Amino acid sequence: VFEFVLELKAPILSLQTLRTNSGFFYNHIDPYFGSSDIRTIQYIDYQRFANDLLSGKASGRPLKPKTVKNIFNVLAGIYKLAR
């Protein structure tokens, strides 16, 4: 699904934004959720993910709230297409 999101957004996003979003997906979202069907992920799962990113559990180092928000923007784009 993520590759489809990138394909759709490529014409309107800068190359740097596409790279950043890809990094968010491949470094944080995909390792955490793996092959889970995004339509089955509940609010509590998203909250745990955010908490783990902020505490460093998910990435090995704590991330800043703004970075976590940016990661969630990528996740929201994936979720919108998966519905």
Query: pLDDT tens digit string along 4-56?
Result: 888 888 888 899 999 999 999 999 999 999 888 888 889 999 999 999 999 99
Q: Which of 31, 61, 29, 67 is nearest to 46 (CA)?
A: 29
In one letter, which amino acid is 75?
L
pLDDT band at 63 (very low <50, low <70, confident <90, very high): very high
Q: Which pLDDT score is estimated for 5?
A: 81
Q: Which pLDDT score is estimated for 70?
A: 96
Q: 44 versus 2: which is more confidently predicted?
A: 44
- Give the integer Cα–Cα distance in Å for 81 and 12: 17
Neighbours of 63 (CB within 10 A): 19
Q: Which pLDDT score is estimated for 6?
A: 83
